[in-house]
Chain A
Amino acid sequence: MRRRRASRHRRAWRRKTLLGLLVAVGFALSGAAGAVAYFLPAITTAIRDTGHTIQRGAATPAASASALPGEAAAAAPDPSVGSQPFTVLLLGSDNDAKFSGSEVLTQSMILTRVDPRTRHVVMLSIPRDLYVPLSSGGSDKIDKAYLHGGANAAVATVERNFHVHIDHYAWIGLLGLVNLIDKIGGVDVVATNPVLDDFYPADLSGQNPYAFQRVAVLPGPQHMNGIEALEYVRSRHGDLRSDFGRSQRQQQVLLAIRTKAKLLGLADLPDVASAMSNDFSTDMSISQVAALLPLAGTITLQNVQQVLLLPPDVSSAFVGSQDVLMPNWELILAEVRKHFPVA
């Protein structure tokens, strides 16, 4: 009798425990569901826009050592975002209504080396008009590498010409940049000079993508929203330095974004992901991107070195029907070796 009562008591206790466990699991799952719902935009973006693989060699059928200057690309170190220095090719495209799908040029190419141990960053702007052998075959302006073979070709072309190994790439479109800057509350920038342009492309309004608009960014420290920052980094007609001036301004705004990004936390990821939706892609995984966030916050401005390729590194020329910049590889590669040492 006592044994039966004890057995019933044990069963009841087990049932209660099981029930308690089920309730606890239920709450844990509902909490997780709440978190997943919150992070859904970030998760969707992470799945769609991150983790793309660079197919080395796959998009380079015509590439050959003889077609390219100097020796072969540097040996590849482990491309992890850990304590080892790594190289990222930052790409920016005019993906407006003039272009269809991914058939876009890269108006901005910034080769960036990050050393997590020394917290040192080098940003080298590659002129978009640089006339180089493309990894997809033939020679053309370097901004066409992406047009002919996407990120793979852009990475391969830079690797082969500049003799560097690129661990990762990150690509952003016009609206992605505008939305990102708006989402972080704008950026504070010291405009270098009056940036005036009467032939600035009015291609984001959705009407005539070949129309012009007037732009006047006044000089000095100021707060810029996404559209104003885009006008500042994109305009080039009124600048004696043309693309060189634009490259300098692009690096400036990138650093201003970094300053604002330091204020962001994990809970901001969904907003940022939504802002850049469809206008961003990278081969970095979401965990690698997450690992970069705290690193970005620890890098001081004094440790960021900005490099531009100016004459005599390049010289103007006319090839076919287009103005191009011819590289002086001896000078350029010396500069590259200085800032992008082989691991």
Chain B
Amino acid sequence: MRRLLAVVVLLALMGAFAFGVNRFLASRRSHIPSESTISAPTETRTAVTLPGTMFISQHGDIYALAGGYFSDLRLARSGTWMQPSVIPGSDAILAVLRTDAFSDVYMIDAGGGAVHKLSHNATPGKVIQLNHWMFWPRVGADAQTVYMSYDSPKTQESYQIDFAVWQGTLAGKLAVHQVTDPFGYTGGDVDAVPLAGGGILYSKYQISSGQVYSRLAVQKDALAEPVYLTTATDDCGQPALSPDGASLAMVCTGGTGLQSTRLEVASLSGTTLGKPRTLINNCLCAAPAWAPDGSGLAYYAPADAGGHFQLWWIAGAAGATPHAAQEVTS
């Protein structure tokens, strides 16, 4: 009886040992963050308190960041909310709601949460090519003129589909005039920034000698020839103009083998861009945005190779001696 008991205990121990080895090996797996392990920004306080209120999107939701705390705008989810931008002199913001086949621009009261749909880009029919995309909506200093990238004109018979910058008004129709004339089959013109004296600064894609690149361009009048600020070899995009209009932040990929970027800042006077200063080299820096008082520059970048994009901050980015980048979220 004692022997039988000993055998049973031993077998049980061996089973437990096998299970233990199995679980030990499982515990040695790499802990690469997956989509499901991302926590909402509202669960943490930021390491750095940024000036003003900043609107960010994460995982299809839009959050306001003020005083070191995030608050969820709690928008109804029938797609992915993205690309929030402030309407000058207002509590409201513009944002894009993207679905599988189209995207629309909405005006959102950041305080009360009221949402107004400004575009209607879905087609009621089954021809999916009749749907439209609208991205990067920005409002000018007059708080009325809206610029956005819109995949029009296009036909359902052609493969050609490029973004052009279009202009409209908040009170009326969004896409009234086509402002830019994109190079065909390049992806087109994106990221329009309204200029204080009229016109826009935007990122224009071009393909030449088998290479695709973006140049930052300034354009005063609709369908006029743009003035280029950067070269093809710089391959710069994602322009962000400081509140005083004197400093331009941009993300450049020229010379990086398309696997990383540089975050650069240069002075801007009219259509003359000063010598760019590299703030961060060899990074995956994206979407730079100036503080409302111009005291620094926020941007996205992963903290390490396995991490997801976090918010970073460079105080004094427009000055000659900018501070080191600080990780705002982690």
Contact = CB atoms under 8 A, between A and B. Distances in A.
Interface of A: 23, 26-27, 29-31, 33-35, 37-39, 182, 184-186, 188, 190, 192-199, 212-214, 216, 218-223, 225, 237-241, 244-245, 248, 252, 255-256, 259-260, 262-268, 271, 301-302, 304, 306, 308, 310-311
| Cβ-closest 8 pairs across A and B | A194-B187, A34-B21, A34-B18, A240-B185, A267-B28, A30-B14, A185-B32, A310-B210
A183 B15 CA distance: 30
A248 B258 CA distance: 9
B261 interface: yes
Most buried by B among A23, A199, A219, A241: A219
Contacts of A237: 159
B186 A193 contact: yes
Contact of B258 (A27, A192, A216): A192
A18 to B, nearest CB: 14
B187 A27 contact: no
Interface string B102-120: 1100000000000000000
Contacts of A31: 17-18, 21
B257 A306 contact: yes
B188 A194 contact: yes
A220 B237 contact: yes
A245 B206 CA distance: 13
Interface string B79-119: 00000000000000000000011110000000000000000
Contact of B210 (A34, A216, A244, A263): A244
Contact of B302 (A188, A214, A267): A188
A221 B285 contact: yes
A16 to B, nearest CB: 13
Nearest to B309: A223
Given A198-B128, A198-B161, A260-B32, A219 B309 contact: no
A222 B25 CA distance: 32
B28 A265 contact: yes
A302 B238 CA distance: 25
23 contacts: A23-B10, A34-B17, A34-B19, A34-B20, A38-B25, A182-B34, A185-B306, A193-B186, A194-B187, A196-B161, A213-B101, A216-B135, A219-B237, A239-B185, A239-B186, A240-B183, A244-B210, A263-B306, A266-B28, A267-B26, A302-B257, A304-B257, A310-B210
Contacts of A222: 286, 309
Most buried by A among B15, B17, B188, B287: B17
Contacts of B30: 263-265, 267-268
B26 A218 contact: no
A23 B259 CA distance: 55
Contacts of B256: 190
Given A26-B14, A197-B161, A263-B305, A214 B101 contact: yes
A304 B259 CA distance: 11
Contacts, number: 189
Contact of B205 (A194, A223, A255): A194
B210 A220 contact: no
Nearest to A251: B258
B186 A37 contact: no
Given A262-B305, A301-B259, 14 more contacts: A27-B13, A34-B17, A34-B25, A194-B205, A198-B154, A214-B133, A216-B103, A218-B135, A223-B308, A265-B28, A266-B28, A268-B30, A271-B29, A301-B260
Given A190-B258, A214-B131, A260 B205 contact: no
B297 to A, nearest CB: 16
B32 A184 contact: yes
A238 B22 contact: no
Contact of A267 (B29, B185, B306): B29
Contact of A35 (B22, B101, B188): B22
A248 B212 CA distance: 10
Nearest to A186: B35
B163 interface: yes
Nearest to A239: B185
Contacts of B20: 34
B160 to A, nearest CB: 7
Nearest to A184: B32
B306 A190 contact: no
A311 B162 contact: no
A19 to B, nearest CB: 10
A230 B286 CA distance: 21
Contacts of A194: 162-163, 187-188, 190, 205
B192 interface: no
A304 B203 CA distance: 29
A212 B128 contact: yes
A331 B258 CA distance: 25
B29 A241 contact: no
Contacts of B242: none
A267 B22 CA distance: 10
B13 to A, nearest CB: 8
Contacts of B129: 198-199, 212, 214
A27 B25 contact: no
B214 interface: yes
A188 B18 contact: no
Contacts of B203: 219
B284 interface: yes
B207 A240 contact: yes
Contact of B286 (A182, A221, A256): A221
A157 to B, nearest CB: 24
A223 to B, nearest CB: 6
A37 B237 contact: no
